[in-house]
Structure 1
Amino acid sequence: MPESDGGAPRQHVALSTSCLFLADPPETFRVASELGYDSVEVLVTHQRMTQLTHELLDASQQYQVPISAIHAPTLFFTQQVWGRPWTKIQMAAKMVEQTGAEVVVAHPPFAWQPKYGKSFVEGVRALSEMTGVKIAVENMYPWRLAGKELQMYRPHWDPRNFDYDWVTWDFSHASIAQVNSLEAIRELRPRLGHIHLTDGNDGGTSDEHLLPGHGQQPVAESLNFLADHGWDGVIGVEVNTRSAKDEDERASMLAESLAFARGHFRPGLGA
């Protein structure tokens, strides 16, 4: 991974495989290489190749783009991947060790996983200490049904009030939850382990994952703040490109997201 230059915070931007959701992982490495991304974040899904370290490393070597983050299969639609909840995070941590990545991204437990949820905070710390792998728990959001908010995550969708060593901050999730990301990031900075760079329209009910700057979250200001304070984590672009009419339009969306990160993660821009 790139080192900081002369004491300034490094600019390290990863392209998530989720941005090319139906494509085979090598396509993400190819696009990352062509557009100038620093690395790839692998979201482990039902796609077999996302689970196979040796094939991911082959793609990494072929396109000369390293792997910086492993997103454990803790999403709603990946509940059947890698079996039991703790197994998912353990295997993701092992994949981090094998690929040379920096961090595991994990969602908090669902409400229907009470036993897992009860031990989650302490269990994440214990697993991190045992493996030496940074495990960053992602902020989620309340689910809304007929105007009512449902608590669907345990111990909660907001990681700020829990004693996690590391947190991943996602701007789209913050948008749904109507949380000001700049305020949250100011609070979380000492334990902010990873960023999911995206955006959303505040208070919406869908997880939009808009291009940064296309929503209502203070994304630019948050990146300015982190750069000013020497944050040295990975900024993982995680945007929805399914509206792209073709490969060129998709590439344009991903290039714009990269340029946004490069342009706003610079010290001295204020925040």
Structure 2
Amino acid sequence: MPVPDVPQIPVALSSSSMYPMGVAETFSIAEDLGYDGVEIMVTHRAETQQADLLNEWAWRFGMPVKAIHAPTLLLTQQVWGSAWDKIRKSAELARQVGCDIVVAHPPFRWQGTYASGFAEGIAEIEERTGVMIAVENMYPWRAGGQEATMYLPHWNPVPYDYKHVTWDFSHAATAEDDSYEAVKALGSRLRHLHLTDGWSNGFKDDHLMPGHGNQRVVEAMELVAQSDFGGNGFNGAVAVEVSTRAAKKEVGERERMLAESLAFARKYLGQE
């Protein structure tokens, strides 16, 4: 009996992995190293916000945009106006570049009606645009041995009624969470993965190369690669999101780190 043809899970390169380099370099290195596409993190840089420019680079380098990361970080609070405008504009950008995933952080408690109506609001945007808003796991903020309640309803999206979720291994490490158990619990709700790693060491969000921390990244990736994951297999992308800032000290070090991360993904997704 023939084995069913299971589509290969695409492995994308996040533009955040290239910081402080730009988006053009992200597309170029993704092509050089053999990635399947890119994830664009929207920032204050105009090049991350312009669909025409992103489409031109995607065509030139043969690297489709697999996900848009909404500007919901603290450092991007001034980008694209209000909290809801950030989500709406990210969904529109995703449509314009031909992808169907927007990564968004859970709301901060101080964000008023945006926070209290977040689940309902993103569901409405999803229905109207056809773009999935995949809520990303974060981590508790700790100071002086105390945990501050920063997110509403919580930093961990797994127990809540979000239809689509992004899982980040580095954030899980900071939260001292178990990524394998979370991925298993999410099942078909898991729509996007940030491939990275970290150490459970309090507040430091390391974004290490996969396999360089203490998360169960191997087991989680092997689980996602199973053809029956979530019922019908994983229907999303894996985006390498690692910190390469220290790599500028050595020529070729950034490329080596990103090549190793890609090889890790290929190996444990069974694509070698």
Into which bin does the TM-score normalised by the smaller protein fall? over 0.9
2:217 corresponds to which residue? 219
Between the aligned partners of 2:117 and 2:258, the Cα distance in structure 1 is 38
Secondary structure at the counterpart of residue 151 of structure 2: coil
Between the aligned partners of 2:103 and 2:251, the Cα distance in structure 1 is 28
- Structure 1 residues not aligned, in runs of 5+: none
1:114 corresponds to which residue? 112
What displacement does 1:130 show?
Answer: 1.2
Secondary structure at the counterpart of residue 124 of structure 2: helix
Match of 2:195 among 155, 174, 197: 197
CA displacement 1:70-109 (0-9 Å, x = unmatched): 0000001000000000100101100111101130000011
What displacement does 1:11 show?
Answer: 2.8
Between the aligned partners of 1:65 and 1:179, the Cα distance in structure 2 is 33
1:237 corresponds to which residue? 240
Alignment of 1:159-174 (within 5 A): 159-174=157-172
CA displacement 1:164-197 (0-9 Å, x = unmatched): 1100000000101111000000000110010000
Secondary structure at the counterpart of residue 39 of structure 2: strand
Aligned partners of 1:159 and 1:167 also within 8 Å: yes
Are positions 1:256 and 2:260 aligned together?
A: yes
2:57 corresponds to which residue? 59
Secondary structure at the counterpart of residue 235 of structure 1: strand
Between the aligned partners of 1:253 and 1:102, the Cα distance in structure 2 is 28
TM-score with structure 2 length normalisation?
A: 0.94
Between the aligned partners of 1:87 and 1:147, the Cα distance in structure 2 is 36
2:46 corresponds to which residue? 48
Between the aligned partners of 1:190 and 1:126, the Cα distance in structure 2 is 20
Between the aligned partners of 1:66 and 1:76, the Cα distance in structure 2 is 27
RMSD: 1.3
TM-score with structure 1 length normalisation?
A: 0.94
2:85 corresponds to which residue? 87
1:144 corresponds to which residue? 142
CA displacement 1:7-64 (0-9 Å, x = unmatched): 3241310000001111121100000000000000000001111011111111111111
Pick closer, same or farther for the CA change 1:159–1:68 going to 2, 3 Å.
Answer: same
Aligned partners of 1:18 and 1:43 also within 8 Å: yes
Between the aligned partners of 2:168 and 2:22, the Cα distance in structure 1 is 24
What displacement does 1:69 show?
Answer: 0.3
Secondary structure at the counterpart of residue 113 of structure 1: helix
Between the aligned partners of 2:131 and 2:48, the Cα distance in structure 1 is 19
Are positions 1:18 and 2:22 aligned together?
A: no
Between the aligned partners of 2:27 and 2:263, the Cα distance in structure 1 is 18
AA aligned to 1:251 is: E
Between the aligned partners of 1:31 and 1:192, the Cα distance in structure 2 is 27
Are positions 1:183 and 2:158 aligned together?
A: no
2:98 corresponds to which residue? 100
The number of equivalent residue pairs is 263
Q: Which region of structure 1 is more displaced relative to structure 2, 237-246 or 251-260?
A: 237-246
Aligned partners of 1:106 and 1:137 also within 8 Å: yes
Q: Which region of structure 1 is more displaced relative to structure 2, 147-156 or 38-47?
A: 147-156
CA displacement 1:186-244 (0-9 Å, x = unmatched): 00011001000000001431111000000000001000011112213100000000111
* Identical positions, percent: 51
AA aligned to 1:164 is: Y
Between the aligned partners of 1:98 and 1:9, the Cα distance in structure 2 is 24
